[in-house]
Amino acid sequence: MTIIINMRDKIDIRKLRVAASLIREGKLVAFPTETVYGLGADALNERAVRRIFEAKGRPPDNPLIVHIADFSQVYELAKEVPEEAEMLAKKFWPGPLTIVLPRKELVPKVTTGGLETVAIRMPAHEIALHLIKLSGRPIAAPSANISGKPSPTTAEHVIDDFYGRIECIIDGGETRVGVESTVIDLTEWPPVLLRPGGLPVEEIEKVIGEVRIHPAVYGKKVDLAKAPGMKYRHYAPEAEVIVVEGPREKVKERIRELIAELKKKGKRVGVIGSEKYEADEFFYLGNSIEEVARNLFKALRYMDRANVDVVLAEGVEEKGLGLAVMNRLRKAAGYRIIKV
Ligand code: TXA
Ligand code: MG
């Protein structure tokens, strides 16, 4: 049985208390954040956390992000808190930034995928913050999708993946950012960007100086012990995805040619992008990079349902939010990229 709580228009503290008590009882509650929906459980309860892995079909070595509602919780979870963590938190929390720090014993290894570090984030969403506060627990929450599917940006996406399999889903409407948080490892110097996300790395560098970008961000096959999340093919629709990168006009031209070629071969073709195309299916992502990020996973899920054989996607420039968008697109494409 899954309770669905509708809180699209207005926050209801009484209902949030119910969800918070489920968390305390070791149950699973999906909730909105500003980035994507999370599948939450008490981060300090091993059995509850194990259920997250089971429900998602997630490999046990891929660690979870622990969500907090007050900065003081960092000191409960992390053994050492460098000054840079405080500076970043002060500037960007609550917000789409996850900080990796050495873990305290209190944090179970199930939560950290066996690592000696813990990833911590304070989400910028009233529902999430209330849920964490009312439960009185740090909440471990990966994106609320079955492993391998695009992350959920609406409660419907969560319902599609988990209805009947978790105790509660809080519907807070569409998420604002649409791509997951930026993950930065502060246990090394210089700090390492493990996953580009909703907070551009350029913004982080303005506060703490140079950040090294983990090669896995660009899809390079390297030692992935520190970035376990990068090992797995993510965000993959059933159809074959091809990303076309380059100057806008050329991309548009090449995609039009590809549509024609593929149609000739009898394929059903879907296109996602910010230009208009005549294809079997078309999903308009928007004009600004913010809109593109917000709509990306929805577009991939749409194409999944539309039964197309091939999805052609416009590449975007890899700066600001564009780095996260391209990282997700490349993964969805299994690195099938055409450069024009
Ligand atoms: O925006 C988000 O981050 C969303 C919302 C729900 O907060 N959560 C999310 O969680 O995207 P998930 O589990 O889908 O992605 C967590 C990422 C993975 O790539 C994981 O490998 C990495 O964070 N991660 C977690 N703990 C880590 C650690 N101790 N060291 C290195 N990477 C870690
Ligand atoms: Mg995820």
Residue pLDDT, tens place only, 119-175: 999 999 999 999 999 999 999 999 999 998 999 999 999 999 999 999 999 999 999
From the CA of 235, the nearest ligand is 2
Element (H, E) at 12: none
3-state secondary structure 87-123: HHHHHHCCCCEEEEEEECCCCCCCCCCCCCEEEEECC
Residue 174 within any structural domain of the chain: yes
Do both 188 and 49 map to the same domain?
Answer: yes
Residue 311 has pLDDT above 80, yes or no: yes
How far apart, in whole angstroms, are the C-alpha atoms of residue 282 and residue 285?
9
Spatial CB neighbours of 231, under 8 Å, sequence gap ≥ 6: 62, 224
Report if residue 200 sits inside a domain. yes
The ligand that comes nearest to the alpha carbon of residue 180 is 1
Say whether the peptide bond before residue 152 is cis (omega within 30 degrees of 0): no
92 located within any domain = yes
Tokens 């209805």, residue located: 163
Q: Answer for the pair 337, 245: CB distance below 8 angstroms, yes or no.
A: yes
Residue whose entry in the numeric block shows the structure tokens 């950040």? 211
Average pLDDT, the chain: 95
Give the ligand 1 atom nearest the CA of 34: 1
Residue nearest to atom 3 of ligand 1 (CA): 181
Same domain (yes/no): 275, 182? no
User: Is residue 42 situated within a structural domain?
Assistant: yes
Residue 313 belongs to domain with CATH number: 3.40.50.11030
Residue-level length of the chain: 340
On whether the CB atoms of residues 271 and 279 are closer than 8 A, the answer is: yes
Query: Do 199 and 255 belong together in one domain?
Result: no
103 alpha carbon, closest ligand = 1
What is the structure's pLDDT at 228? 73
Please tell me whether residues 280 and 155 are part of one structural domain. no
CA angle 148, 141, 153 (to 5 degrees): 60
Q: Do residues 170 and 313 both lie within one domain?
A: no
* Pair 320, 205 in one domain: no
Q: What is the pLDDT of residues 271-296, one digit of tens each?
A: 999 999 999 999 999 999 999 999 99
Helix, strand, or coil (residue 34): coil
Helices (H) and strands (E) in the chain, counts: 10, 16
The answer to whether 27 and 178 are in contact (CB under 8 A) is: no
CA of 229 to the centre of ligand 1 (A): 7
Pocket flag, ligand 1, residue 182 (CB < 6 Å): no
Helix (H) or strand (E) holding 233: none
Q: Of 186, 218, 250, which closes a domain?
A: 218
Last residue within a domain, chosen from 218, 253, 286: 218
Give the tokens for residue 37: 């929906």
Is 233 within the bounds of a domain?
no
**Considering only 103-112, 230-239, 275-284, which range has the smallest mean pLDDT?**
230-239
Does 153 share its domain with 291?
A: no
Residues 212 and 267 in one domain: no
Q: Cα(119) to centroid of ligand 1, in Å?
A: 7
Q: What is the CATH number of the domain that holds 107?
A: 3.90.870.10
Domain membership flag for residue 235: no
Residues 268 and 174 in one domain: no
Regarding whether 195 and 144 lie in a shared domain, the answer is yes
Residue 39, pLDDT > 90, answer yes
Domain region containing 207:
3-218
Which whole-number Å values give the CA distances from 49 to 135, 200, 248, 270, in the listed order? Answer: 15, 29, 44, 37
**Ligand 2: centre distance to CA 253 (Å):** 33
Residue 230 lies in a domain: no
Q: Which atom of ligand 1 is nearest to the CA of 145?
A: 14
Question: Ligand 1: which of 31, 64, 170 to mutate, judged by most atoms within 8 Å of the beta carbon?
Answer: 64
Pairing between strand 117-121 and 65-67? parallel
Angle at 297 between CA 311 and CA 65, to 5 degrees: 135
In a domain, 286, yes or no: yes
Query: For residue 7, is pLDDT > 80?
Result: yes
State how far the alpha carbon of 44 is from the alpha carbons of 181, 237, 256, in Å: 21, 33, 52
Residue 210 shares a structural domain with residue 269: no
Domain count, the chain: 2
Q: Are residues 70 and 212 in the same domain?
A: yes
Token pair 């990020």 is at which residue?
293
- Beta carbons within 10 angstroms of residue 76's beta carbon: 13
